Structure 1
């Protein structure tokens, strides 16, 4: 039938308008496909990696060598000792592990398993320092050949310290070598590191038994190991946002399509009435006009799926390298392709149907009579607008007349604001929070954690150093843990302040960080029940003060009060804060941190954050541009007659533009202003959700910089769309309007 050509002819005539809707559908399908396929790829490879290379169920470090047979028989677990050392050279920290045979076996991504005098490097460090296989690396004065790249199942997210937020391969790397080489390089082990595999019925008995017999220094279950669970968290969180984002874009696209189809039908009433009079049935007309959603769905979905599918594997590689996760298998994601096709189809075809439904109820006479007879609902008249001068009155009436479109515009700007604000704030908050904490609150330059708690008469503490004690506790009723520090009452190394900036005095009462208080939902004066991670001893402590610390699941007490409460002798300590580097024997040190290393890590990682933020900002900007452009174009096309009349009356294009589309500026501001508190609410909810089960807390606060940056970017996008639409007003010629009226 000839009438089948109507949809394609109409789309060709208003190509940019329909192309924008197609691109909205394409972005929705692309977003779903991109994230779903890449996250599924990562999940499948991760599950295979941890199964085939025997990811640990936990690890512990003791000050004495354990009786492995006794532990295996008593708790029915597999156990394997792993030689573990750290060395620093030229500002780079290398963590050296012996290669395991049973648990946490390395996967060789490039090269081969090392022989004597050879090592494997983790992929991020290998790449960051531009190593090649068979290159040499010097470790503690001895040269080794790099045999290849190794992936460890328990070091997927390679951070130096458990409290670190981001990896820093420029300054930290993991090295794997034969046990014999480790023993030659470091002949005297000062701690003993064990990985275990198997489910322990009573984990508290397990920890208590190890601690009482061999001196437990650290115990980390798999579900509390950030080097493992951060991978799972990020994949799960990415999966959670796929459907909402995709659905939002699809629903907006469907609503815009609904408006477009209504306009197309209204402007073609005479042609449709003629078709009826020629013998075509409503069914014939319905089939023809349903080709509009069919073409938009098909081209949009196919373009989106192709873009998402081919972009998914590079995206997965980016994520995989970020987590140092190997690719062990490939698969075709047919189920995600099906969903990416089905989701847009449901909403797009429904919008097409509802746009046609009322029109098809009209008689042939009503259709032929003209556009004024075809009403689909009408908003009440706002007499309040009549008090304004003419131009403002017209602008307000146009905005009210197209209230639904303005609402969609507001929602689109809100969504773009939230998306962009999250990216901007995440970057700013991490950098600002760390710099603030280490300039205002943590004033030490070096932190040393020793391998035992005692009075340490062998260490001479200078005026620039302070002792501290430390214990880890589980919080009853949650999966969260708290690290409680015992520090000097007049400490120069740790300064705590309340929200008003007043210094909090250190006493025998518990002070906790603000993010941790928010996570638990507790305030000053509330009680929390905690349990010692090593001994299982339970305590109930009252929260004396909440310190305005930006990060950390931390608590603080006066050192001697800490020792009395938790069973230590007076004067005992397990660590040292120092403003100067200390000469402490290596056999006494368990872990060490420096402020400069941490700050360098954060700043070096800002580049990776900026890339992610750039992607989020680009998606937000494109969505805003498409939504504003399509809605504005619709208004212009519907009001060509009025625009022509205003031109004949002598109004300039600038004035006409403000009258017809000026209300969009109000909608833009309403959307952005509404988006600011919603961004804060969304970020707080997101942070609480992703950190509720891990030993980390952080608050994301909106900064003036992030608000202004988001506003400027969205305003530029909005003005660009204004510029594109303004050209359409310039093309409206009064003579053409008059000719159409005569015709």
Structure 2
């Protein structure tokens, strides 16, 4: 014969269906959302980490003006690397009725390095087939079997693939944003590649024999590589280490940073769940007080009652854990994966089980539910059966029995009495609304914060153009100096065949002009610029170092600028005589203090520097370090007068061989647009989940007030009050509390969200200032009011169902 306690479980579940359904939804939504993302992100991170070996990703690449001599390549390989030809053509791509004016970078089918991963189709064969990048094809509706025009020539798309060195589609490594709409990588077979025409780029990828070389050792190897190429007749135009190749490293850095954001979100949701479990456990015991007293007086042991009251939370928690994981791994796996696969060209997705994610998203909430319920039961069951029967398990208070001013009307006194009698519950409601608003604002302020960051970066630019050079390049030169250097460049970069084919007279003229080049002077820009543009341009030097972030959050990459002491562009920076100015954003993020040494490292040179800030400058997003140009060159051991950049409010025409990047305000706008594009869908999910959690939380917390007043509501029905009148008396107090809580908690919410997002953004490079515009705060309040309107409607139905018979039951 089943125990009477077991037979009570179905009735208890039916009677408290709203409460247990709320717990189920709260846990299910939380587990589904966070586990769905973290599983997808950790799987993608594992895929990215495995790409280096699975697809033999290069350790670096170098580009030469012409095909490097065989002896130059052999000399490089003697250093302990394997060199692979990675030649390419940048050609126009179009499709009838589809994309126009796109650019495809075509490589030959690869074997043994940077190997392609095919999502659909196969590798191209013959002279009229091509394989294109997956993300580019998805954005432009290109499928296997379609025909595209490449430089006016028809190619059939045989495959859709990804290349590991173009996991992020940066057309140039110096670009600040990806281009997934009009730029694609592509591969063709050897016959097709040999038939291409145009300007060929002679890039070589190298793979170290020792794949475990440290960045510093690899930097030394690359220095030897440059020397070997120069000694053997190769003219080097570019060298990029794999760690500096945005096409390779950018996706991994993005995924790593986003995981921290979701873990902070999980931390916030876990706090909310723990808070709800505490409140509901206490409310359940208070509601069941008389029954517990009766059972104890009837001979039931406390451990039997603990087991009984743990049964339903255990059942609901298990059901929510199963449902949340099933939905997270199925329904949300695809959209969460697409947050990255819509932007990055990664190999085919494969989900991996992650025990850490399971412990964080499932075991922790379930353990909280059971643990908090168990502790609450044990604490309450210290009371005697008589205390349970008399409902004296809670501390007695005098607020409900306070004398109120008789001049107040009955309705006002009744509402005030309801408020005072439930003061502890309303205090709990305030805290719950603050947490829910914090969660909601977490999602709502993310996009404004990104926009504000992009605007701040734009405002922090010292000039309309900040040109960074690969090597010093003089722009203030005479026409004769430009002609001489142009002649020397032509002779140095021309192939042997071109020199032999050149007219002897023309060759002699070039040699004569080139003789005027000062071998000890900096290269001269061969392109003419207006005198006014040259006069307003200002030299500077820049280098990158790393410094430790707080909270063991990795290393912050910092740009160190060497600027003129009387700079017209950095006029607010006090430098010279050993002075060092640090950006306010860097000082705030990394805890730098004026007068105290700050450690910086150069990972590629394996060198450390201790810099002592003498001032803090700029805005909250400025994470740079400033010193005079002379101090810069002394610090880094450069020749006097060394520089590698120009600040200019006017556009300069510079030799592209020397230009590394041109940073303009428009680039900052593109950064903001890319952030909005990459985070838009994620933020939408966050807000939707926050609204649902808000609804469940507010319903559960306000329900405890209605349940506690059930007997009083029944009395009022006996006295003839209609349901509408009772709603006005009880729901009015709750409504006032909710609206007041929404408004009063805003300063606490703003402070909380600022602290949380600082932790979230700690692993991102740069200092991202949390921005909470007034309109987002208004939206939080309006959503709170709208959610409460739904909850109030549900409570009116609850009040209608309070039976008259409840007033006639003996309470003692």
- CA deviations 1:163-202 (Å, max 9, x no partner) are 7676441244333446786677577667755343323363
Q: C-alpha distance in 2, partners of 1:96/1:517?
A: 45
1:420 matched residue in structure 2: 440
Quote the Cα distance in structure 1 between the aligned partners of 2:197 and 2:667.
24
Aligned to 2:6: 4
Structure 2 counterparts to residues 140-219 of structure 1, below 5 A: 144-160=155-171, 167-177=178-188, 185=196, 192-197=203-208, 198-200=211-213, 202-212=217-227, 214=229
> Is it true that 1:356 corresponds to 2:377 in the alignment?
yes
User: Residues 59, 669 of structure 1: CA spacing in aligned structure 2 closer, same or farther, 3 A cutoff?
Assistant: farther
Alignment counterpart, residue 711 of structure 1, candidates 780, 783, 786: 780
1:297 aligns with 2:317: yes
Measured after TM superposition, the shift of residue 52 of structure 1 is 1.1
- CA offset at residue 633 of structure 1? 0.8
Structure 1 residues 280-305: Cα deviation after superposition (integer angstroms, max 9, x where no partner): 66565544433221332233223222
- Paired residue secondary structure (1:148): strand
Aligned pair 1:80/2:154, yes or no? no
Residue 472 in structure 1 maps to residue 493 in structure 2: no
Q: 1:53 Cα shift?
A: 0.5
Partner of residue 500, structure 1: none
Q: Which moved more, 1:609-618 or 1:57-66?
A: 57-66
Matched, 1:101 2:111: yes
| Unpaired segments ≥5 residues, structure 2 | 94-99, 231-235, 474-521, 550-554
**1:376 and 2:394 correspond:** yes
> For structure 1, which runs of at least 5 residues remain unmatched after alignment?
498-502
> Residues 207 and 534 of structure 1 are in contact (CA less than 8 Å); yes or no, is this contact kept in structure 2?
no
Change (3 A) 1:177 1:551: farther
Q: Is the 8 A contact 2:436 2:697 kept in 1?
A: no
Aligned-partner Cα distance in 2 for 1:588–1:140 = 28
| Residue equivalent to 2:54 | 52
Residues 122 and 14 of structure 1, relative CA distance in 2, 3 Å threshold? same
- Deviation per CA, 1:377-412: give whole Å up to 9, x if none: 456869999789868887777667656655654454
Q: Does structure 1 retain, via aligned residues, the 8 Å contact 2:73–2:229?
A: no
Give 1:639 deviation, angstroms: 0.9
Alpha-carbon distance, 1:229 to partner: 4.1
Whether 1:17 aligns to 2:30 is no
Cα distance in 1, alignment partners of residues 691 and 699 from structure 2: 12
Structure 1: distance between partners of 2:649 and 2:201: 22
Give me the whole-angstrom Cα distance separating, in 1, the residues matched to 2:691 and 2:681.
15
| More off after superposition, 446-455 vs 34-43 | 446-455
User: CA distance change for structure 1 residues 209 and 71 in 2, over 3 Å: closer, same or farther?
Assistant: same
Give the Cα–Cα distance (whole angstroms) in 1 for the partners of residues 811 and 438 of structure 2: 50
Q: Is the 2:114–2:163 contact (alpha carbons within 8 Å) kept by the matching residues of 1?
A: yes
Using a 3 Å threshold, how does the CA distance of structure 1 residues 602 and 229 change in structure 2: closer, same or farther? same
Q: Secondary structure at the match of 1:7?
A: helix
Q: CA deviation at 1:245?
A: 4.6
Matched residue, 1:434: 454
Counterpart among 131, 136, 161 of residue 125 in structure 1:
136
Native 8 Å contact 1:191 1:451 kept in 2: no
Query: Counterpart of 2:493?
Result: none
SS in 1 for 2:164: coil
Query: For each residue in 1:320-365, what CA deviation from the matched residue of structure 2 results, as whole angstroms up to 9, or x when unmatched?
Result: 3433222264556788668765434422233333343356555555
- Measure, in 2, the Cα distance between the counterparts of 1:385 and 1:702: 47
- Tell whether the 8 Å contact from 2:702 to 2:734 is kept in structure 1 after alignment: no
Matches within 5 A, 1:441-590: 441=461, 444=464, 449=469, 453=473, 454-462=522-530, 463-464=532-533, 466=537, 468=539, 470-475=541-546, 479-484=555-560, 495=569, 512-522=582-592, 543=613, 546-548=616-618, 554-555=624-625, 567=638, 579=650, 582=653
What's the C-alpha RMSD, in Å, of the aligned pairs?
Answer: 4.7
Quote the Cα distance in structure 1 between the aligned partners of 2:371 and 2:596.
Answer: 53
| Equivalent pair of 1:624/1:714 in contact (CA under 8 Å) | no
Using the alignment, how far apart are the partners of 1:389 and 1:184 within structure 2? 99
Asked if the contact 1:121–1:175 (Cα under 8 Å) also holds between the matched residues in 2, the reply is yes
Picking from 739, 761, 768, the partner of 1:699 is 768
Q: Is contact 1:259-1:355 (8 Å) kept?
A: no
2: distance between equivalents of 1:594 and 1:178? 39
Measure how far apart 1:422 and its partner are: 3.6
Shift of the alpha carbon at 1:559? 7.0
Write the deviation string for residues 459-490 of structure 1: whole angstroms up to 9, x where unpaired: 11234574655543324678444444567788
Give runs of aligned pairs for residues 392-407 of structure 1, distance below 5 A. 405-406=425-426
Residues 468 and 646 in structure 2, CA contact (< 8 A), matched pair in contact too: yes
Which SS does the other structure have where 2:756 is aligned? helix
Q: In the comparison of the two structures, how many residue pairs are matched?
A: 726
- Shift of residue 220 of structure 1? 5.2
Structure 1 residues 464 and 150: CA distance shift in structure 2, 3 A? farther
1:681 aligns with 2:751: no
Q: Is the 8 A contact 1:167 1:605 kept in 2?
A: no
Pairing 1:724–2:780 present: no
**Shift in Å, 1:28:** 3.3
CA drift at 1:679: 1.1
For 1:328 and 1:603, how far apart are their aligned partners in 2? 26
* Counterparts of 1:25 and 1:450, CA distance in 2: 54
Structure 1 residues 62, 515: CA separation in 2 closer, same or farther (over 3 Å shift)? farther
Question: Displacement of 1:623 after TM fit?
Answer: 1.4
Larger radius of gyration: 2
Q: CA deviation at 1:704?
A: 1.7
Over 3 Å counting, the alpha-carbon distance change for 1:285 and 1:556 in structure 2 is closer
- 3-state SS of paired residue (1:658): helix
Q: Distance in 2 between matches of 1:470 and 1:680?
A: 35
Alpha-carbon distance, 1:249 to partner: 3.9
Structure 2 residue aligned with 1:325: 346
Distance 1:118 1:579, change over 3 A: farther
- Corresponding residue to 2:730 among 656, 662, 670: 656
Residue 722 of structure 1 and its aligned partner are, at CA, apart by 4.7
Deviations 1:224-244 (A, max 9, x none): 555444433444445556666
Matched, 1:110 2:120: yes
Deviation, 1:619, is 1.5
Contact map agreement 2:147 2:154 (CA 8 A) in 1: yes
Are the aligned partners of 2:546 and 2:601 in contact in 1 as well (CA < 8 Å)? yes
Aligned in 2, Cα 1:159/1:468: closer, same or farther, shift over 3 Å? farther
The answer to whether the Cα contact below 8 Å between 2:450 and 2:675 also exists between their aligned partners in 1 is no
Q: CA deviation at 1:101?
A: 2.8
Would you say the 8 A contact 1:624–1:717 is kept in 2? no
Task: Spell out, residue by residue over 1:601-648, the C-alpha distance to the aligned partner (whole angstroms, 9 max, x if none).
Answer: 643652442221111111222112111111101111111233455785
Aligned partners of 1:230, 1:379: CA distance in 2, in Å? 60
Query: In 2, Cα distance between the equivalents of 1:270 and 1:530?
Result: 67
Q: Which moved more, 1:304-313 or 1:210-219?
A: 210-219
TM-superposed CA distance for 1:150, in Å, is 2.3
Give distance in 1, aligned partners of 2:301 and 2:610. 79
- Contact 1:57 1:199 survives alignment (8 Å): no
- The answer (yes or no) to whether the contact 1:425–1:706 under 8 Å persists in 2 is no
Shift of 1:697: 1.1
Deviating more after overlay: 543-552 vs 53-62: 543-552
